[in-house]
Each structure stands twice: as structure tokens, then as C-alpha cells.
Amino acid sequence: MPQITYTNFEGARRTVEATPGDSVMETAVRNGVPGIIGECGGSLSCATCHVFVDESQLSDLPAMDGMEDEMLWGAAEDRRDNSRLCCQIRITPEMELRVTTPQTQV
């Protein structure tokens, strides 16, 4: 079963089991993981699902599209090279992804 590990900006870590096909944002919200809001429900219009992906796993993910790239410039915390909007990351059957949430999403 896929697993996502969410680490907050203070280093507190939470690993949850995930369902293939769901997004990393949906999985966080459903499990009450703090630090991810997902205000727009995944329609790529809020940037409150900003995360920093473990750099060693970045290349395992499909590349972001132009809209996600554009939305990341509006995230509350400055984007980094490993920033993604996690509503756009679909969970695959073997995924064991590690992400860190920013200090603020709004």
C-alpha cells in the first residue's frame, strides 16, 4: 500500500497509508494532516496545498504543467526548486513519498 510521509516545518512527521489514484492533497485532508488546506478542492486555483518534495524523489514524479508552475508563484511561502502543489500529485501503487509542508499556506 502506498504511503505518504508529511513533515511539518518544525520537523514533526506523520506517515499515512494512501489510496492509488487519490492526490497527495486529498490524502492529507482526509487524514487531518495539518499544514495542507486544499481550499479549492484540487482545481488548481488556490495554492494552499504547497509542499516541498524530498529532493531525492523529485525526478520520480511526473513534471508539473504550466498552470501548476504559474500558481506556485502565488503560494504564501516562497517557492523552492522542490516545490509542488500536491493536489497535482497522483498516488501510484508503489509510492512512498516524503513531503514537507511550509510554515504557512495563507
The residues that touch ligand FES, with contacts defined as CB under 6 A, are 25, 38-40, 42, 44-49, 71, 85, 87
Helix (H) or strand (E) holding 53: strand 50-53
Q: Whole-number minimum distance, CB 50 to ligand FES, in Å?
A: 8
Minimum CB distance to ligand FES smaller for 1 or for 45: 45
**Residue (1 or 67) nearer to ligand FES, CB:** 67
**Closer of 1 and 76 to ligand FES (Cβ):** 76
| Smallest separation (angstroms) from ligand FES to the CB of 26 | 9
- Minimum distance, C-beta of residue 23 to ligand FES, in the bound complex (Å): 8
- Tell me the C-alpha distance between 40 and 101, whole Å: 17
Between residues 24 and 56, which has the closer beta carbon with respect to ligand FES?
A: 24
Helix (H, G, I), strand (E, B) or coil at 7: strand
φ, ψ (nearest 5 deg) of residue 53: -80, 140
What burial class does residue 78 get, using C-beta atoms within 10 Å of its C-beta: 0-12 exposed, 13-18 middle, 19+ buried?
exposed
* Nearest distance, CB of residue 42 and ligand FES, angstroms: 5
The per-residue DSSP string of 11-31 comes to --EEEEE--TTSBHHHHHHHT
